[in-house]
Structure 1
């Protein structure tokens, strides 16, 4: 699509032919639109129109009349070219892994393997390289739209709550809760806040380690005098205390929340039991890792060797947190001793997910290679978590997000089209 304005004439001169002489033996290509510093050629437009006709035909849809279709396709190509120019200016690129994955998805959408998809294209006389270039362009446009448009859209939790209220879905589940309160004085100092938080953390660790039950700790230390062993009884979701609304639905039976701050102090909540609604359970892994990445001063082989050294030291009893802080290139977790927290294996890269699923709890892995580098991993725990409420809220959030993005995308496309220089020459009869 992207050609310099002098390409047709320049090519003719290089071949030792005049432009007119060359046209006599083969029709000259011509410019049908100028987009900033780029040009869209007649040949590009013709190829795209044929693609659109084939796509419509496979869906048994009648293509619009010739002129209408040509203008619609050209308008789409102009917008695409503007976005590709913006992506290039922003130094965006699509790596081979992303492109291969996208092509496999295209093949899968046609109920084929990638090899079968390539064979089908060859049989239809379609160049696989052409399809690769088209998919690469679409990925770049998608990346740009995500950066420019999706970042302008937010979905406040209250909108999700309002949607749930309309559905009546908030009343589908009820929760049996227990509660501990570590109080704070009015207008507490920073030292008092820190002391209360540390006390709540220590109580939570004592409960989670099995030293005492939640009820025993609540009866002994809770500052709420109205509770017997901290028992709050059964509460439907729409009757949960406000400070618990965002925490409790994502918990599983037996979970104890991290300390929740309120004006009264720090609260610990135990989900004793849940009923109502259809449960959706997923497996989660509590893990930590140390990432050793290649860099300009460290080859991939050197990174692997360092990861193997770290793995050996850990198996010999070295402190995981200390080595993570010393070596890990994952700066987001290194300062926290490499802790990833409870993780869904489906949310991480495939090589890492495979290691999480197969690694025995408490065992240090051999170095695991991913596109980020070499990981040394330890699984600290496994659990089944009820994500029914999380899943429902995420589905609603995604639905609201897509609705807003589509609205915002239309406005954004109008903005970039208006700000670009476009000379539409489709109806010009002269050769460009």
Structure 2
């Protein structure tokens, strides 16, 4: 991924493009050229404004001139884009098209109509689409190129320790309060009936598509519960079967282009699938995902069961650990006394070794793996207390009931190697990636045509190779 400022370039320029065009007569002139790409003064000016506003909202400032900072970010993106062309780096054009359509629709909704949007930006809708397509495409190439450079970088424990020792005590990060907690989860007893209702909904959609009463992509946009594909009409990027859920892959493997599957159950829910094309080992398809939905009565019954369990725990007739083992539907935590592991952290760091199991959660960790309901319940408890029953969703989006126990709060503290290894590993990896990227960038700048106008040549650039 690009650094924070660079990541914002594309989005900032999308918003700024029209403003820059209106000011073009007064301001626009080429202030830099990198490879075959030029940078206009208006682009730098508008992105500098975006940086300043972003920092104002986040409550911090920079000692650097925002114009020079913006220019360097833009030159870096242009270099990455040009190098991506040289190295024939691949990007997903379908994904870019989907992003453009989503952005255009948001802009139309904001302004109220296409004519009003065109009047505001002084350009036709197809020009707005093309401007955004170019921006997104350039950013996609830049991101892919940087991933080529740093994607395979890793660190070993010795590097993490050296990184930790190299940081002054005053510069060590502060780790905010962390929560250790346990849970007992319950899916509604009526799951079988809810699954059958979901199957019937999908069978009805399948029949409507087959008989020509509806288009598959339109139904996906209206009803699919897969946020990653619904805006694209359920369309997935071409994928090998090995990367898909086994049940989903098995159904897809036996389909012909244009065919619509029967209802398929996977770990994510229920699907109908339409195969669009197959090229070699890559399958291009659409799907509609639905998950079981329960009635108010069914969910209420689940909460009653959990409240009964919580009552027994409060009366000391059973321990939380024993209740989790006997009654919890969560196979991951029930064997560990209900103690919850931070799946998001584990996955992010590929740290599935038992000795690295993470059971400490920062407040933001709850948001990362869709568990803000857990945090809201825990924030009202003292260590050792058990919550009442509440409704929530699991990491896959399935409805369920839950009670939680606050086991411990680890107070805010300065990060240490023993207590916060995985978070320090993340910092060490980011530091190593940045060093490797800067070295690569310096060499590429030296080998690529770079021109900067005199008014900007004396500016402060982090990478001194820019001024030749």
Q: TM-score, normalised by structure 1?
A: 0.37
* Structure showing greater relative contact order (alpha-carbon pairs closer than 8 Å, 6 or more residues apart): 2
Q: TM-score, normalised by structure 2?
A: 0.35
Larger C-alpha radius of gyration, 1 or 2? 1
